[in-house]
Amino acid sequence: MTRRLFLSMLLIGVLIAVSLVARNGDAQKNEQVDIKVTDPRNGSNVGREMVVKGTAYLPRGHYLWVLARRNDFKPLWWPQREAEVDPKTHKWSATAVFGGPQDVGWDFDIGVIAVNEKEHALLKDYWIKAMRTGDWKTIEMPPSAAAPQILKVKKVSH
């Protein structure tokens, strides 16, 4: 084998190895959860309901959910709905409801979590049943694939 052929083969091997490492790095990056809430800001005033917005990078098989609670209801939450993440822009939005007229003046927490398929199915079943019956019972926050994003808002009107 000539030296030139050997160096060409070596270079091709190195390029393939670099490509595989880079691809593996991208796969690992795609497996990380990154959730940001862009609206509302922490400490904002809200009315009866509002659209919560942000960006999220989720691994395959994970789903984004928005939950809310009056701050004196810890550790219990009301699941609000799934927030579908746009695969190109990674933007998401979901409406959250902040209690009734009796809750004006109270602080509320908004929680945004990434759940696996099992927890997603449980939340979806809960949500469908609550929508059909009007029975919105509180639940404990399901396990999240990353630290939940929690912010506080104040309900100032109904």
pLDDT digits (tens, 9 = 90+) for 9-35: 555 654 554 454 444 433 434 579 999
CA distance 76 to 96: 15
Q: DSSP code of 145?
A: S
Element (H, E) at 49: strand 49-57
Instruction: Compute the distance between CA of residue 153 and CA of residue 71 in angstroms, rounded to an integer.
Output: 10
Kind and range of the H or E run holding 115:
strand 107-116
138, containing H or E segment: none
* CATH, domain range 34-155: 2.60.40.10
DSSP state of 32: S
Mean of all residue pLDDT scores within the chain: 88
d(CA 115, CA 33): 10
User: 80-109: per-residue pLDDT in tens?
Assistant: 999 999 999 999 999 999 999 999 999 999
In whole angstroms, what is the distance from residue 138 CA to residue 4 CA? Answer: 71
| pTM, entire model | 0.80
| Strands, sheet with 34-39, edge to edge from the N-terminal-most edge strand | 34-39, 49-57, 91-97
Q: How is the chain split into domains, by residue range?
A: 1-30, 34-155
